[in-house]
Structure 1
Amino acid sequence: MFSLLSRPVPQGTALSRDPFSLVDAMFNELASQRGSTSLVSRARIDVSERNGAYEVRAELPGVKKDDITIDIDGASVSISAKLSSQSERKEGERVLYSERSHESYARAFELPQAVDAQSAEAKFENGVLTLTLPKKDAPKSTRLAVR
């Protein structure tokens, strides 16, 4: 019985290949196609911290200020934006090639500490959204007396 299990498996058989290689190949294929077929892109962000506030910079190229939505819930921040890059077509014009499309950007993330949404500020300039999110004061602990 032992000799049966210890024999080398001939190359080219199903048992000699990594059983997860097919799964890896499938996900790699999906990832490589993501940029060309996805209608929702993940906005690229930078998050920094200074003066008691978080500063978030998000790249949203081609987006109009009115098409941006920002939601804040405690320490959770969600940014979404619609991009309508369909150009006006002139009568008799025939498009030969077009890579631009209706696309959306979306990004949600958690900050280390809750922010004061009432004092938050948003600025959009040259395709970059900048959020200034003041931190909420951490709740002070309370000692309970045992009766």
Structure 2
Amino acid sequence: MFVFPATVPSSAAARRASASPLLDALFAQAAPTGGAVRAPAMDVSEDAAGYTLAFEVPGVARESLKLTIHGRRVALSTESPAGPRADAPQADQAGKGETRVLYRERSAPRYARTVVLPAEVDAASATARFENGVLSVTVARQQAAGARQVTIG
């Protein structure tokens, strides 16, 4: 694939005034549909104390990860980073103007996955470690409350 300097007008009026509607249509068809939510690959293992989950989330910053544990459910999602959108024009290094993106295939990935474990887990004892694009979560099984005798009155 090759890239050549052509712009795709953003407004309808600019599109109508475009000198190259065929070229505009070509770029519109070739543009990736980024923003789709992916389900990260994962491994779940169990031992006597609890569960260990490993999620593959490459290309994600630690700050954008959101992990929620409730009952038997462990939910992982990524939030969009704050700041300018990835497709917004950026000032160039020399400060002489703006840099235009001519073609983009890379985008910040978005992930979401919920796992229902076989037993309730203790959310307060959960630990998580993010290293080399892999989020490892360790959760202990919820300690069952002992049987209690109820007095019938």
Tell me the TM-score range normalised by the shorter chain.
0.5 to 0.7
Q: 1:68 and 1:52, CA in 2 relative to 1: closer, same or farther beyond 3 A?
A: same
| TM-fit CA distance, 1:83 | 5.9
What is the number of residues matched between the two proteins?
113
State the partner residue of 1:16: none
Secondary structure (helix, strand or coil) at the match of 2:109 reads strand
The within-5 A match list for 1:1-147 is: 39-82=36-79, 86=86, 90=92, 93-142=99-148, 144=150
Where do 5+ consecutive residues of structure 2 fail to align? Answer: 1-31
Distance 2:72 2:98 in 1: 52
Taking only the aligned residue pairs, the percentage that are identical comes to: 35
**Which one-letter code corresponds to 1:98 in the other structure?**
R
Cα distance in 2 between the residues matched to 1:59 and 1:83: 18
Structure with bigger helix share is: 1
**What are the ranges of 5 or more consecutive residues in structure 1 without an aligned counterpart?**
1-34
- Which amino acid in the other structure matches residue 45 of structure 1? M
Deviation at 1:94?
Answer: 4.4
Distance 1:135 1:79, change over 3 A: same
If you compute each CA radius of gyration, which structure gives the higher value, 1 or 2?
1
Determine the C-alpha separation between the residues in 1 that align with 2:150 and 2:106.
Answer: 61
Contact 1:62 1:83 in 2 (8 A): no
Report the residue type matching 2:109 in the other structure: E
Q: Is the 8 A contact 1:63 1:82 kept in 2?
A: no
Q: CA deviation at 1:65?
A: 0.8
Q: What TM-score do the two structures reach when normalised by structure 2?
A: 0.61
User: In the alignment, residue 124 of structure 2 is paired with which amino acid?
Assistant: Q
TM-score (norm 1): 0.63
**Deviation of residue 139 (structure 1)?**
3.3
